[in-house]
């Protein structure tokens, strides 16, 4: 008899709240020998750790798992904001100093500074066809996904073979401040596609 997922193991809601962007990716992107749910998780964990995504949270979903990353601030092209602001949710204006050529540009740079764009990435490995719904999500809920999950997969999930109905989906939840003193609000449709977010994060090639 196959092992059972512990009853107290956290579950991720499916259908998930409506994301700002999403994309289905083929499992071969994770490696040639990814044949189980656990192998897919190990490949994802390795790729995320290499790009600084050390805080990850796991949830059970039908046929697999959901992995949520910590909320991070990002630049307009999808790259993470420079440290230490990458992981800071404080309402501070972000100036791209690389674009400043002379002191006369500083005033305009501060006036036009990005008040804050943030994202949470959720990786789904599941055999369910319908993964997202129309329900909205707030920044508090998305941030809580990182703290509310488990640190690793149980063997009952890791041992599952990847079948023909399994797929790997990435959900991007984006939030933005309209002003430095405003609370982050959900962005229903990201200006960047999900692939552009992954490329900017260094998790996917061009």
Q: Is residue 11 part of a domain?
A: no
Q: What integer best gives the mean pLDDT of the chain?
A: 89
Q: pLDDT by residue (tens digit) across 75-113?
A: 999 999 998 889 988 877 665 555 545 555 444 444 445
Q: Is residue 12 part of a domain?
A: no
Average of pLDDT values for 26-31? Answer: 93
SS3 76: coil
| Cα→Cα distances 102→3, 82, 98, 105, Å | 64, 21, 11, 6
Prediction pTM value: 0.89
Helix (H) or strand (E) holding 150: none
Q: Is residue 93 part of a domain?
A: yes
Distance, CA of 20 to CA of 112 (rounded, Å)? 24
pLDDT at 113: 57
Domain extent for 187:
21-200
Share of the chain above pLDDT 90, in %: 73
> Helical H runs in 54-169?
106-111, 139-148, 155-158
Q: Is residue 143 part of a domain?
A: yes
Cα 128 vs. chain centroid, distance in angstroms? 19
Q: Is residue 96 part of a domain?
A: yes
What is the 8-class DSSP label of residue 161?
Answer: B
Average of pLDDT values for 43-47? Answer: 97
Q: Is residue 89 part of a domain?
A: yes
| Partners of 118 in beta bridges | 73, 175
SS3 204: coil
Average of pLDDT values for 17-32? Answer: 95
Q: Is residue 55 part of a domain?
A: yes
Q: Is residue 16 part of a domain?
A: no
| Cα→Cα distances 96→164, 185, 190, Å | 45, 22, 21
| Cα→Cα distances 1→4, 64, 191, Å | 9, 18, 47
When divided into structural domains, the chain yields a total of 1
Q: Any idea which of 24-38, 107-121, 137-151 has the lowest mean pLDDT?
A: 107-121
Q: pLDDT by residue (tens digit) across 124-152?
A: 999 999 999 999 999 999 999 999 999 99
Average of pLDDT values for 153-182? Answer: 94
């Amino acid at each position: 008899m196959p092992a059972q997922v512990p009853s107290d193991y956290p579950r991720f809601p499916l259908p998930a709240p409506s994301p700002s962007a999403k994309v289905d990716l083929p499992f071969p992107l994770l490696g040639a020998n990814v044949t189980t749910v656990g192998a897919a998780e190990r490949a994802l964990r390795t790729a995320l750790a290499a790009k600084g995504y050390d805080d990850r949270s796991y949830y059970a979903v039908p046929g697999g798992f959901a992995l949520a990353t910590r909320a991070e601030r990002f630049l307009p092209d999808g790259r993470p904001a420079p440290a230490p602001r990458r992981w800071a949710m404080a309402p501070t204006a972000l100036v791209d100093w690389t674009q400043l050529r002379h002191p006369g540009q500083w005033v305009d740079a501060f006036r036009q500074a990005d008040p804050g764009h943030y994202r949470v990435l959720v990786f789904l490995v599941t055999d369910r066809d319908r993964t997202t719904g129309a329900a909205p999500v707030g920044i508090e809920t998305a941030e809580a996904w990182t703290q509310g999950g488990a640190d690793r997969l149980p063997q009952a999930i890791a041992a599952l073979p990847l079948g023909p109905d399994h797929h790997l989906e990435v959900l991007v939840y984006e939030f933005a401040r309209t002003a430095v003193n405003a609370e982050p609000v959900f962005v229903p449709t990201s200006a960047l596609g999900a692939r552009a977010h992954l490329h900017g994060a260094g998790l996917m090639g061009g």
